[in-house]
């Protein structure tokens, strides 16, 4: 087949041919001298581009924003978008239902390279009108038809609604009455929850409680330097026992407050919304992120609807100059996203190498090690009464205290695994243990510190010559290290790796090889006098029902390297209920840098003044806080007793006591290593372990972050993402507003551009990026899903099939929205004009097929692993090569235990979105190269890097994986072998 241009020419030539033949036959007698029929116009295509004016999909017109509320005499910018591409020049006309309210603009002209038309609506007289755009097109049969689009316009006074002090509306919220509405000027204000939230039987239940809605008194004046404009009154949502004004609910509530969108400055959009909060924990109003913000009509006015787990006072506002901050943004045309383990890798590698990327997208995964490691220490490794409180309060595994929305709790004997098709794997206990081992192999054991640097991934005590460590390698290949074995990888060595894995585990889990300290192994929680025996143990067996299917059972065959157990009954094996030792840091009081816990702060009152010094950490209300921030801060009291937490044991502890009496707070090296590369610590300035340059505020302006997590993810990754978002919100502009906007979105259907009433429909092309926060955080899944929906995978580690697809689409379109200068026009198929040359060392064949694979060996690291590359439509066209068409690159990091080549199927739908005829360049996904990066543990020179997953980190252990450095080499390799897009600058409006 020829190019679109030559195909069109042939069609026109064939249509003219009969006349030519007639003249030829008649030549010599008489032939008309009439000029030939004019050739139909052709689209102005560059070589390789495609647009067929005779075969266009159905015409569609869309206004952005879809509705306008404006004050008389004020303006609102509007964009009309046409789809599909207009191969030939076309025109849309406008009419207004009431020119006195909103005059219609002039006609809009479109062509192949102009699929948008920008105009301004000026408010006239108060009232409502609609501006209608109409446009004609031809269907595939050549029949003319017309489409139109309506822009509702509401012209009203810009004054924000107000309220006056006085009695509020009160009522009991319950399953029978799940909504409380305000009264008077606050009649449109609401607080509610779905009925199912009140009837839950778990810790996320919303208890029936007495509520009140009252006028809160303006709080914008408390931030004078922010220069805010009120959109509505401050509204106080209060509740009394069993509700609390000083603690967050475990389940978010839904709120509505009256607003007037006409008060928005001319260029402001929903992403510029500022919501101020004040309550017993926040005495001075401050801006906070909220979930699923949207403005809806309510009666004769409007309300802002949103979700939050906090009762208190809320007021909607916007910065006076919103939408006018124009700047030049530097683009690298690279982005990195990842899932699960790869999500953690995208966050860690992306933040450390922020100067190489425009966007990072941690989709699930351990993207915030500060909260994740705290949770593992206190819940995953916890659940036992300390020696000084043997009768401590016992909790069911899902009922431990935890002031976090959505998060579930667990304890060591009851690890979470909820049945459903959305987990992406079984994750039994032995896999939990294996994940913890791989993490320790990466950075060292965060739960203790072995005296031997070569055993940095093990608990303190065992030595490299102990049978517990070496196992029995008789008959196995020389040099086999039984202290950890690679998870067998498909290939010629798989059978050998399986045999090594099986025999090493069996030997180490043989009771005769148990490591034991009969006495002298001190621990401040469970063995303060060192009198009880401490032993190594194996895990991996399980029993129980969902969601705690992973309940401990004796007889496991998975050695637990990073922890030891107290053998309370002295039988030589770990039994249910016997404590797991935690020795990752010296004991401290997480009371904040002021050194005072709340009850010791002047003026403390548990109800009216629970945090006098305003230093309590909360990812939403106060991410700058240091009290309860899951880390030791300078100024906080600690016991300089060493990692065992017991005084005077430096010479008595059989395994040694790191840090005792050294005058400084001591953490295990493994824990400290994790904090160094922790995105939360890097963003907040607690670590400076960047690859090249620090993440300054200026650098953060060129760096965007999308995160997500399932509301019932077995690893609580929705909660992890909340804390990462909070870390970015610690960066402030002058006046106290966040440097970049952020918002939570409870489901993909709540993203602007989607139909919020249709959870089952998601159209990524329709996302309105002008209204979406710079740093969106999507919590997918329905917190109150039915059992049937949960079995389908709703909100789980991967999610349902639809949720997984929506996660991918959201990430790809978010990334694409940051590359306005990338190619978005349709292209010809490669076979019409295949390339004849390439800079790729792999040659032309794989490029023509659209997919290249290579086992890449890093020139500096020496590491070898697979990478897979998916090329966009048109990449391998000869015309694209000659024109040197270049493309951005999106790096995709896989989950735990996967191989990067397993993700190549993603390109099936991305390439479709990149060349979709039904869309135009204004809404089509830009073309970019996809690179799937290896993170699986590999074997080098007969020695495994780790067990199954590298977490895309440089291991602190000699001989460990060097994934951070290798990934850096992969980026260089891709730039050398593919036509990647170089740096540029574009104009953006914040």
Q: How many CA atoms lie within 13 A of 253 on its CB side?
A: 27
- In this prediction, residue 39 carries a pLDDT of 59
Give yes or no: residues 897 and 983 share one domain: yes
Distance CA 765, CA 754 (A): 10
- In this prediction, residue 198 carries a pLDDT of 98
Distance CA 436, CA 438 (A): 5
418, with CB counted inside 10 A (0-12, 13-18, 19+), is buried
Domain endpoint, select from 140, 155, 170:
155
- Domain-embedded: residue 869: yes
- Domain-embedded: residue 569: no
Q: How many CA atoms lie within 13 A of 152 on its CB side?
A: 7
Domain endpoint, select from 155, 180, 206:
155
Region of residue 487 (left: phi > 0; alpha: psi -120 to 50; beta: else): beta
Distance CA 168, CA 958 (A): 66
Q: Residues, the chain, total?
A: 990
Give yes or no: residues 896 and 975 share one domain: yes
Give the number of other CB atoms < 10 A from CB of residue 853: 15
- Domain-embedded: residue 516: no
> What tokens were used for 154?
């509401």
Give yes or no: residues 25 and 112 share one domain: no
Ranges under pLDDT 50 in the chain: 1-37
- In this prediction, residue 494 carries a pLDDT of 84
- Domain-embedded: residue 460: no
pTM listed for this prediction: 0.94
- In this prediction, residue 23 carries a pLDDT of 30
- In this prediction, residue 34 carries a pLDDT of 47
Q: Which residues contact 55 (CB under 8 A, 6 or more apart)?
A: 140
Neighbouring-strand partners of residue 857: 864
SS (H, E, C) 116-172: EEEEEEECCCCEEEEEEEEEEEECCCCCEEEEEEEEEEEECCCCCCCCCCCCCEEEE
Give yes or no: residues 33 and 131 share one domain: no
Helical axes 669-677 vs 429-443, angle rounded to 10°: 80
Determine contact, residues 82/58, Cβ cutoff 8 Å.
no
Determine contact, residues 954/964, Cβ cutoff 8 Å.
yes
Give yes or no: residues 145 and 24 share one domain: no
Range of the domain at 3: 1-42
- Domain-embedded: residue 899: yes
Give yes or no: residues 36 and 103 share one domain: no
Number of domains in the chain: 3
Q: Compute CA 242 distance to the chain's CA centroid, rounded to the nearest angstrom.
A: 33
Distance CA 792, CA 131 (A): 44
Phi then psi for 83, rounded to 5 degrees?
Answer: -140, 145
Determine contact, residues 687/676, Cβ cutoff 8 Å.
yes
Residue pLDDT, tens place only, 900-941: 999 988 888 889 999 999 999 999 999 999 999 999 999 988
Cα–Cα distances (Å) from 29 to 20, 21, 26, 41, in that order, read 15, 14, 6, 33
606, with CB counted inside 10 A (0-12, 13-18, 19+), is exposed
- Domain-embedded: residue 905: yes
Give yes or no: residues 33 and 64 share one domain: no
> What tokens were used for 11?
């069609």
Percent of the residues in the chain that have a pLDDT greater than 70, as a whole number: 96
SS3 state at 534: strand
Distance CA 463, CA 454 (A): 10
Closest CA to 3 of 44, 49, 42, 56: 49
Domain endpoint, select from 107, 123, 155:
155
Give yes or no: residues 859 and 968 share one domain: yes
DSSP H or E segment with residue 801: helix 801-817
Distance CA 136, CA 397 (A): 64
Q: Which residues contact 415 (CB under 8 A, 6 or more apart)?
A: 380, 429, 432, 548, 550, 551
- In this prediction, residue 477 carries a pLDDT of 86
Q: Which residues contact 36 (CB under 8 A, 6 or more apart)?
A: 16, 19
Give yes or no: residues 820 and 936 share one domain: yes
- In this prediction, residue 43 carries a pLDDT of 80
- In this prediction, residue 15 carries a pLDDT of 33
Give yes or no: residues 1 and 110 share one domain: no
Distance CA 717, CA 895 (A): 13
Give yes or no: residues 79 and 143 share one domain: yes
Determine contact, residues 237/311, Cβ cutoff 8 Å.
yes
Distance CA 652, CA 649 (A): 5
Give yes or no: residues 819 and 938 share one domain: yes
DSSP H or E segment with residue 517: strand 516-517
- Domain-embedded: residue 164: no
- Domain-embedded: residue 191: no
Residue pLDDT, tens place only, 218-252: 999 999 999 999 999 999 999 999 999 999 999 99
CATH of the domain at 127: 2.60.40.10
């Amino acid at each position: 087949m020829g190019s679109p241009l030559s195909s069109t020419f042939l069609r026109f030539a064939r249509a003219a041919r009969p006349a030519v033949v007639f003249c030829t036959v008649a030549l010599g007698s008489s032939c008309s001298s009439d000029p030939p029929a004019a050739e139909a116009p052709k689209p102005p295509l560059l070589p390789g581009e495609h647009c067929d004016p005779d075969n266009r999909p159905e015409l569609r017109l869309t206004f952005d924003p879809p509705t306008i509320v404006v004050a008389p005499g004020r303006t609102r910018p509007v964009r009309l978008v046409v789809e599909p591409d207009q191969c030939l020049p076309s025109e849309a006309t406008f009419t207004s239902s009431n020119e006195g309210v909103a005059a219609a603009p002039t006609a809009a002209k479109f062509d192949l390279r102009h699929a948008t038309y920008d105009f301004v609506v000026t408010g006239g007289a108060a009232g409502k009108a609609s501006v209608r755009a109409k446009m004609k097109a031809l269907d595939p049969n050549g029949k003319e038809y017309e489409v139109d689009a309506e822009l509702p316009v509401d012209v009203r006074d810009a004054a924000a609604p107000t309220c006056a002090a006085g009695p509020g509306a009160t009522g009991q919220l319950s399953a029978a009455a799940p909504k409380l509405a305000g009264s008077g000027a606050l009649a449109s204000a609401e607080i509610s929850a779905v009925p199912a939230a009140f009837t839950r039987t778990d810790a996320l239940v919303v208890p029936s409680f007495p509520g009140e809605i009252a006028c809160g008194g303006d709080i914008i004046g408390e931030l004078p330097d922010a220069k805010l404009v009120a959109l509505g009154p401050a509204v106080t949502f209060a509740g009394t026992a069993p509700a609390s004004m000083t603690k967050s609910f475990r389940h978010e509530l839904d709120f509505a407050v009256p607003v007037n969108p006409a008060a928005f400055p001319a260029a402001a959009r929903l992403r510029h919304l500022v919501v101020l909060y004040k309550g017993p924990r926040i005495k001075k109003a401050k801006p906070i992120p909220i979930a699923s913000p949207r403005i809806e009509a309510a009666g004769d006015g409007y309300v802002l609807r949103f979700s939050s787990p906090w009762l208190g006072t809320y007021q909607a506002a916007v910065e006076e100059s919103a939408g006018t901050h124009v700047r030049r943004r530097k683009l690298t045309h690279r982005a990195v996203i990842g899932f699960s383990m790869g999500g953690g890798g995208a966050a860690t590698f992306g933040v450390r190498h922020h100067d190489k990327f425009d966007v990072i997208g941690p989709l699930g995964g351990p993207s915030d090690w500060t909260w994740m490691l705290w949770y593992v220490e206190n819940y995953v490794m916890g659940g036992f009464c300390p020696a000084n409180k043997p009768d401590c309060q016992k909790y069911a595994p899902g009922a431990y205290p935890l002031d976090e929305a959505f998060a579930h709790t667990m304890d060591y004997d009851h690890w979470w695994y909820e049945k459903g098709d959305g987990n992406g794997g079984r994750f039994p206990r032995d896999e939990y243990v294996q994940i913890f081992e791989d993490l320790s192999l990466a950075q060292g054991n965060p739960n203790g510190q072995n005296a031997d640097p070569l055993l940095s991934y093990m608990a303190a005590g065992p030595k490299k010559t102990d049978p517990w460590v070496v196992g029995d390698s008789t008959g196995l290949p020389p040099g086999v290290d039984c202290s950890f074995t690679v998870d067998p990888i498909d290939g010629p060595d798989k059978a050998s790796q399986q045999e090594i894995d099986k025999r090493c585990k069996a030997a180490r889990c043989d009771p005769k090889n148990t490591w034991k300290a009969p006495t002298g192994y001190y621990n401040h929680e469970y063995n303060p006098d060192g009198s009880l025996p401490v032993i190594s143990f194996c895990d991996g067996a399980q029993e129980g029902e969902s969601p705690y299917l992973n309940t401990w059972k004796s007889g496991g065959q998975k050695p637990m390297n990073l922890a030891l157990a107290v053998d309370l009954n002295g039988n030589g094996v770990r039994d249910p209920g016997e404590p797991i030792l935690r020795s990752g840091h010296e004991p401290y009081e997480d009371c904040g840098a002021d050194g005072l816990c709340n009850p010791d702060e002047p003026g403390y009152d548990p109800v009216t003044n629970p945090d006098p010094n305003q230093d309590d950490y909360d990812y939403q209300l106060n991410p700058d806080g240091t009290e309860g921030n899951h880390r030791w801060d300078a100024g906080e009291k600690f016991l300089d007793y060493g990692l065992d937490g017991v005084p005077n044991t430096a010479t008595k502890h059989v395994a040694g006591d790191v840090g005792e009496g050294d005058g400084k707070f001591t953490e295990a090296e493994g824990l400290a290593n994790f904090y160094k590369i922790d995105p939360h610590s890097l963003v907040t300035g607690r670590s400076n372990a960047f690859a090249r340059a620090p993440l300054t505020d200026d650098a953060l302006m060129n760096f965007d972050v999308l995160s997500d997590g399932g509301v019932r993810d077995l690893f609580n990754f929705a909660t992890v993402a909340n804390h990462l978002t909070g870390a970015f919100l610690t960066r402030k502009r002058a006046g106290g507003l966040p440097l970049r906007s952020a918002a939570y979105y409870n489901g993909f259907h709540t993203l602007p551009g989607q139909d919020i009433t249709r959870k089952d429909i998601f159209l990524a092309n329709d996302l309105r990026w002008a209204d979406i926060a710079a740093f969106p955080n999507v919590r997918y899944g329905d917190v109150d899903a039915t059992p049937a929906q949960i079995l389908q995978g709703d909100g789980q580690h991967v999610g349902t099939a639809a949720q997984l697809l929506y996660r991918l689409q959201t990430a790809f379109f978010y990334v694409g929205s940051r590359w306005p200068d990338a190619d978005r026009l349709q292209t010809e198929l490669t076979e019409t004009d295949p390339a004849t040359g390439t800079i790729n060392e792999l040659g032309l064949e794989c490029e023509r097929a659209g997919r290249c694979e290579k086992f890449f060996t890093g020139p500096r690291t020496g590491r070898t692993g697979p990478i897979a590359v998916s090329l966009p439509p048109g990449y391998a066209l000869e015309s694209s090569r000659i024109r040197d068409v270049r493309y951005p690159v999106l790096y995709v990091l896989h989950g735990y235990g996967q191989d990067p080549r397993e993700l190549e199927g993603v390109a099936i739908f991305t390439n479709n979105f990149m060349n979709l005829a039904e869309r135009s360049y204004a809404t089509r996904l830009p073309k970019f190269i996809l690179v799937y990066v290896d993170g699986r543990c590999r074997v080098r020179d007969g020695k495994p890097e780790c067990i199954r997953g590298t977490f895309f980190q440089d291991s602190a252990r000699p001989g460990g994986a060097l994934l951070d450095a290798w990934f850096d080499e992969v980026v260089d390799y891709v730039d050398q072998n593919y036509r990647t897009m170089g740096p540029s600058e574009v104009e953006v409006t914040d």
